[in-house]
C-alpha cells in the first residue's frame, strides 16, 4: 500500500520530533528556551546554544547546553564539529539568538552599535546556516527556522537598526529557501510580536510612563490586546520544524496578536 501525504503526516503528539536532532541558538533566552523545551518534549535531541555566562533556564533530559559565540566563525565551527561527532547531522536549526540594541534614530547610532547588532542578528544566522547546511545537504533533508520579527515586516522610529537586521533575516531566509530546496532543505522565518519576556519586562519597568501605560500603548490597539507568551512562539517553531510543514518553505509565520493586520 502506498502511504499518502495525509497518512504520512498523522503522527502522535509525542512523536512530532522523534528521532530528530535540533540546534537552537539563543537557547537560554525566553523564546529560545521555550522552543528548546517544546522540541525536546516532542522527542527531539536538542543542543541549546548561547553565550558563555548566560544562565540556563532549567534542566531537561533531552537538552544539552553549549557555550558558543554565534558571531565568531571559529566558535561556531568548533561547536558544530562537536555536535556532529556526538549526534550526526542536524535535522533542525532554529536561529533564535538576537539583540535589540540601543533605541534612537539612525543618525544617533554609532558604527559600533551597527556592527554589534548586525553581527548577532544577521552574521550569526548566516554563520550557523553556513556550517550546518552541508550536513543537511548530505542527508538531503533539513528545516531551518530563522527568528525575524514583526519589525522585519514593518518600519518604526525607535530601533531602525533592529528593523534593518530583521528585514535582512527575512530575505536571507527566502534566498536560502530558494537555494537549498533542491536538497530537501526548508527555510522559513518566524515573526513574533510583543512578547512577555524578561527583556520586555525590563523595558516596562524603565519606562517613564509606568508599566501599565507602557503595555497599553504597546499592545492596546492589537486585535488580541495582550502580549504573547513564549510557548505560543515555540508551537509555531514546532510546526515549522516538524514534517507536518514539509511543503512549507520560504514563508513567514507571523505570530503577533494581529499587530500587522491593522
Can you give the pLDDT at residue 216?
A: 86
Q: Domain containing 25: what range?
A: 14-193+228-257
The pLDDT value given to residue 131: 98
What pLDDT sits at residue 5?
A: 40
pLDDT for 4 equals 39
Q: What is the pLDDT of residue 14?
A: 61
Q: Let me know if residue 5 belongs to a domain.
A: no
214 lies in some domain: no
157 near 115, Cβ under 8 Å? no
pLDDT of residue 203: 78
pLDDT of residue 200: 83
Domain count, the chain: 1
pTM of the model: 0.92
d(CA 126, CA 48): 18
Structural domain contains residue 2: no
Cβ burial 193-215 (10 Å sphere, 16+ → b, else e)? bbbebeebeebbeeeeeeeeebb
213 assigned to some structural domain? no
Write out the catalytic residue numbers. 162
- The alpha carbon of residue 19 and the mean position of all alpha carbons in its chain are separated, in whole angstroms, by 21
What whole-number distance in Å separates Cα of residue 86 and Cα of residue 83? Answer: 5
Mean pLDDT by 10 residues, the chain (262 residues): 39 76 98 98 98 90 97 98 96 97 93 98 98 98 98 92 97 98 98 91 80 86 96 98 98 97 93
**Domain containing 121 — which CATH number?**
3.40.50.720
Amino acid at each position: 500500500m502506498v502511504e499518502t501525504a495525509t497518512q504520512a503526516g498523522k503522527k502522535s503528539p509525542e512523536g512530532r520530533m522523534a528521532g530528530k536532532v535540533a540546534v537552537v541558538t539563543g537557547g537560554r533566552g525566553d523564546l529560545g528556551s521555550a522552543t528548546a523545551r517544546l522540541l525536546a518534549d516532542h522527542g527531539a535531541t536538542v543542543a541549546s546554544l548561547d553565550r558563555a555566562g548566560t544562565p540556563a533556564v532549567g534542566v531537561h533530559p533531552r537538552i544539552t547546553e553549549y557555550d558558543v559565540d554565534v558571531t565568531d566563525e571559529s566558535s561556531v565551527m568548533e561547536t558544530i564539529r562537536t555536535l556532529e561527532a556526538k549526534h550526526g547531522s542536524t535535522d533542525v536549526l532554529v536561529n533564535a539568538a538576537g539583540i535589540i540594541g540601543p533605541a534612537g534614530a539612525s543618525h544617533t547610532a554609532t558604527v559600533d552599535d551597527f556592527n554589534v547588532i548586525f553581527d548577532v542578528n544577521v552574521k550569526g544566522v548566516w554563520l550557523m546556516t553556513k556550517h550546518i547546511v552541508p550536513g543537511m545537504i548530505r542527508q538531503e533533508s533539513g528545516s531551518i527556522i530563522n527568528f525575524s520579527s514583526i519589525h522585519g515586516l514593518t518600519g518604526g522610529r525607535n530601533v531602525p537598526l533592529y528593523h534593518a537586521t530583521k528585514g535582512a533575516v527575512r530575505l536571507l531566509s527566502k534566498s536560502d529557501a530558494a537555494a537549498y530546496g533542491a536538497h530537501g532543505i526548508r527555510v522559513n522565518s518566524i515573526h513574533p510580536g510583543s512578547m512577555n519576556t524578561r527583556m520586555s519586562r525590563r523595558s516596562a519597568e524603565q519606562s517613564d510612563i509606568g508599566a501599565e501605560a507602557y503595555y497599553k500603548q504597546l499592545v492596546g490597539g492589537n486585535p488580541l490586546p495582550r502580549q504573547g507568551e513564549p510557548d505560543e512562539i515555540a508551537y509555531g517553531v514546532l510546526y515549522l520544524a516538524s514534517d507536518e510543514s514539509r511543503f512549507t518553505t520560504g514563508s513567514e509565520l507571523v505570530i503577533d496578536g494581529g499587530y500587522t493586520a491593522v
